[in-house]
């Protein structure tokens, strides 16, 4: 029988494995096996503008959309903090926008290098049931030339 500390360490390791696997899916564009880490009814609390939705199929669509826009994405874990049924992941994401991400976001050919934080809630099977994601969206938009940087005037 596992001690309480050993059981908690195993739970944390399983959750971290899931996060790293999902980051690898964002890098590869292949969501096969996501069901091992994400609950079928996962709730996305911070969807991109105009992209409301929840559930595992929605998560697969988000992953595919991101990979289409940034096929060379690299995601690196900076740090992880665990709570009872929650985990926070501080990460870095880099990539080149060589593909369209919808009709309003055409490819720019420019690179992004941004940091973010994922807040994830888990069920007793260590599957993600809820996700909140916060990242440097304005910084990405500036890096891609889609909005002016601080002190710059908008382009006409």
Structure tokens at 66: 């991101």
Residue pair 122/43 in contact (Cβ under 8 Å)? The answer is no
When divided into structural domains, the chain yields a total of: 1
Determine, yes or no, domain membership for 19. Answer: yes
121-147 residue pLDDT tens: 999 999 999 999 999 999 999 999 988
pLDDT tens digits for range 27-65: 999 999 999 999 999 999 998 777 788 899 999 999 999
Query: Which CATH number goes with the domain that contains 34?
Result: 3.10.450.50
Indicate whether 63 belongs to any domain. yes
Q: Are 74 and 20 spatial neighbours (Cβ–Cβ below 8 Å)?
A: no
Do residues 54 and 43 touch, judged by C-beta distance below 8 A? Answer: yes
Residue pLDDT, tens place only, 93-125? 999 999 987 777 889 999 999 999 999 999 999
What is the reported pTM?
0.89
Q: For residue 32, give its domain range.
A: 4-143
pLDDT band at 2 (very low <50, low <70, confident <90, very high): low
Burial (CB < 10 A; 0-12, 13-18, 19+), residue 67, is: buried
* Residue 122, domain member (yes or no): yes
Residue 154 has pLDDT above 70, yes or no: no
Q: What is the Cα Rg of the chain in Å?
A: 17
**Interatomic CA distance for residues 30 and 28, integer angstroms:** 5
Evaluate whether 25 touches 43 at the Cβ level (below 8 Å).
no
């Amino acid at each position: 029988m596992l001690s309480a500390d050993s059981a908690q360490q195993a739970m944390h390791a399983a959750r971290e494995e899931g996060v790293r696997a999902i980051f690898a899916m964002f890098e590869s564009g292949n969501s096969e096996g996501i069901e091992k880490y994400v609950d079928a009814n996962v709730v996305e609390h911070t969807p991109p503008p105009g992209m409301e939705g929840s559930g595992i199929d929605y998560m697969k669509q988000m992953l595919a959309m991101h990979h289409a826009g940034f096929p060379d994405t690299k995601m690196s874990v900076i740090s992880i903090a665990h709570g009872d049924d929650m985990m926070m992941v501080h990460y870095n994401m880099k990539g080149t926008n060589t593909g369209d991400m919808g009709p309003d976001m055409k490819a720019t050919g420019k690179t992004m290098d941004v940091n973010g934080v994922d807040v994830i809630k888990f069920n007793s099977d260590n599957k993600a049931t809820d996700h909140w994601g916060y990242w440097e969206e304005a910084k990405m938009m500036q890096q891609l030339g889609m909005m002016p940087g601080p002190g710059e005037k908008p382009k006409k």
